[in-house]
Every structure is written in C-alpha cells, then in structure tokens.
C-alpha cells in the first residue's frame, strides 16, 4: 500500500509518501518540507512538517526531494535533516563545492534580490548539514527511476534556459562574483517555473506533484493523465487552465494552502476551485478560507492511500 499525506503546513508544501511493505520498514519519500517556522493561528491546525513526520512515526527518510528554492518548500528541510536520518537529498542542483556565505546588500531595498540571497544561504546551510550527517546529495535528472519493486518516479525538469540561467547566477553569487542585476532578477523570479515536477507511479496509478510551476509553463508538455494531482502554487489564479485540466483529468485534486484571507495572495482562488469541482470527482484543500463553493476548513492534512490493487481512498485528518 502507498500512503500519500499532504501536510497542512499553511502556505507551503510538504508531501509524505510511504510505501508500506510486508516484512520490511516503509519506504519513505518526503517531497518539500514547508516553512522553517509557523506562527500558531486560532482556528488553524497548521504545523511545521517535522511534527507530522514525528507524529506519523517516521524514523528515517529514504529520499528528500526538493522541488525549488522558495522558503515555503525548503525552509523546514534543515530541521528535518538534523532530526531524522536521511539517506538522500535530491534537488535540481546544489551549491558548488566552494560556495561561500552570501552577504545581502546593505544598500539595496529590493525584496527580490535580498530574498534570493537569503534563500541561497538557507540552501547552503541545508546541504552542509545533510553532508555532515551522511546524506548523499543528488541532482535530479529527467526520466524515470524505480524506487522499489512497485514504486517509481519520473522527474520532469524545467526549461533548459531556466536551468542554465540559475546555474550561472546562483554559482556566481555563491562565489561572490559580480552578477548582472537584470540576470539576477530574472533568475530569482523564475524560481517557481524552475520547479521540478515529480510523477510517482504505483499499482497502475499516478500522482503528479507540480511544485509551484505555473500551468501556462507546462500545459504544452506531452503529459499523460494522472489520478492524483497536487495543484501548483497553492491554487492561485495561475495554477491551472481548462486545457491542462482536461489533459491531466485527475480523479483527485489537492491544494496545499492556508485559510488566512490576504489582499496579496488569492489562494485558493474561487474560480480555480470551481473549475476543479466541475471536472474532478474529489477536491481537497489542506486548509482554506470561505469560498462560494467551499466552506472554510482546516485539517492536519489530506491522506490518500493506493492499495496494491490500485484502489484509491481519500480522507482528511
């Protein structure tokens, strides 16, 4: 049996996949790790990802797979690596061996530039801690890999120009070399579309985890339909289009989001939720505000199981 648990980490992603096998320990994959810290909120069950792992009895992680460099996806990873033995940490790329601490600008007030440097330092700290604790660091490659006898994963990489620009800009920043401000801005803004998408296959069923890659950036790819879809970018207006939804035709859709209303972040978007409800039999939010077609709710997470016969069962916890 494969269990997929979408943790309520507020405005972020952390997805725990565990294949339960007779006579051996579960094979455990963590895709993204949420934020490093969540302020408790009245009416919300959100927690940092590490608490869900501990509560669900996770004693080791076979693979930690990180979709892209945003705080709501990798922020909690350092705490997890320090607390739970992790065999492999996988990402699109890692800091160079000679990576230095990046000093933020004491002159610029640009949020994009300073935010990027902050995240690159967090990522450097994570990779150093993972290596110190014996984890292997592996760059994700396109194509399919078999994880166990019954579980496989296919990594869908971002566009090549995005990969190359990030490599140029990030490595230069890590080495404290000059970087063209326009290139730096573009590389920072492309972090969502640099998400590695992961398609897991088990018992004839498929689970597509899209990171934060906007729908318009991948709707033209030759993607096969999936059974379970995690919407990108927390169900905001750019997360899905009608043509892409028809192509993927999932039977279950999950939105990782939080219940707080925000003037800046329309997550989940009412139109996107209505679109899903018109075509997808089961639609879940880890947590959501009140919407015209969906009452407000908060859960510890959304749990989906796939039996060895391919039967899918869903519930909120």
- The pLDDT of residue 111: 85
Question: With 90 as the cut, is the pLDDT of residue 244 above it?
Answer: yes
Query: Residue 235's pLDDT is what?
Result: 97
CB 296 within 8 A of CB 288: yes
Q: Which of 12, 13, 45, 37 is nearest to 297 (CA)?
A: 45
d(CA 273, CA 239): 10
Q: How far apart are CA 5 and CA 230, in angstroms?
A: 11
Question: What is the mean pLDDT of the segment spanning 98-122?
Answer: 89
pLDDT (tens digit per residue) in 171-197: 999 999 999 999 999 999 999 999 999
Q: Is the pLDDT of residue 107 over 80?
A: no
Can you tell me the mean pLDDT for 20-29? Answer: 91
Mean pLDDT of the 39-60 span: 96
Tell me how far apart the alpha carbons of residues 142 and 128 are, in angstroms, rounded to a whole number: 25
What's the whole-model pTM score?
0.97
Range of the domain at 13: 2-316
pLDDT at 301 over 80: yes
Residue 262 has pLDDT above 90, yes or no: no
Over residues 41-63, mean pLDDT: 97
Triad 192, 197, 199: Cα angle to 5°: 160
- Per-residue confidence (pLDDT) for residue 261, from 0 to 100: 81
Across the beta sheet with 282-285, the strand order is 143-146, 151-156, 197-202, 205-209, 228-230, 252-255, 282-285
Mean pLDDT of the chain, nearest integer: 96
N- to C-terminal Cα separation, the chain:
18
d(CA 137, CA 25): 23
Q: How many domains does the chain have?
A: 1
Residue 42: give its domain's CATH number: 3.60.15.10
Tokens of 264: 């800046």
Whether 146 shows a pLDDT value over 80: the answer reads yes
Return the percentage of the chain with pLDDT > 70, whole number. 100
What tens digit of pLDDT does each residue of 53-64 get?
A: 999 999 999 999
- Compute the average pLDDT of residues 102-117: 85
pLDDT tens digits, residue range 217-242? 999 999 999 999 999 999 999 999 99
In this predicted structure, the answer to whether residue 293 has a pLDDT above a threshold of 80 is yes
């Amino acid at each position: 049996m494969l269990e997929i648990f979408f943790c309520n980490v507020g405005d972020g992603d952390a997805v725990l996949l565990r294949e339960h096998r007779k006579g051996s320990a579960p094979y455990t994959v963590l895709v993204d790790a949420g934020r490093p810290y969540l302020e408790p909120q009245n009416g919300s069950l959100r927690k940092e990802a590490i608490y869900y792992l501990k509560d669900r009895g996770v004693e080791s992680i076979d693979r930690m797979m990180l979709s892209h460099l945003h705080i709501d996806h990798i922020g909690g990873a350092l705490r997890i690596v320090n607390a739970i033995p992790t065999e492999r940490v996988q990402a699109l790329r890692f800091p160079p061996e000679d990576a230095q601490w990046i000093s933020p600008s004491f002159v610029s007030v640009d949020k994009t530039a300073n935010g990027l440097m902050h995240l690159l330092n967090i990522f450097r700290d994570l990779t150093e801690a993972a290596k110190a604790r014996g984890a292997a660091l592996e760059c994700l490659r396109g194509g399919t890999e078999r994880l166990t006898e019954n579980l496989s994963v296919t990594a869908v990489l971002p566009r090549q120009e995005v990969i190359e620009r990030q490599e140029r800009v990030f490595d230069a920043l890590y080495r404290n070399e000059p970087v063209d401000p326009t290139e730096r801005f573009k590389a920072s803004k492309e972090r969502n579309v640099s998400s590695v998408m992961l398609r897991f296959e088990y018992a004839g069923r498929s689970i597509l985890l899209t990171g934060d890659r906007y729908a318009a950036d991948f709707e033209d790819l030759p993607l096969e339909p999936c059974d379970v879809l995690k919407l990108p970018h927390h169900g905001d207006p750019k997360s899905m289009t009608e043509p892409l939804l028809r192509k993927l035709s999932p039977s279950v859709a999950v939105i990782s989001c939080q219940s707080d209303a925000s003037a800046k972040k329309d997550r989940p978007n009412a139109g996107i939720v209505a679109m899903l409800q018109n075509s997808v039999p089961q639609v879940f939010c880890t947590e959501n505000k009140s919407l015209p077609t969906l009452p407000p709710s908060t859960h510890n997470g959304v749990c989906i199981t796939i039996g060895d016969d391919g039967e899918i069962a869903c519930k909120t916890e």
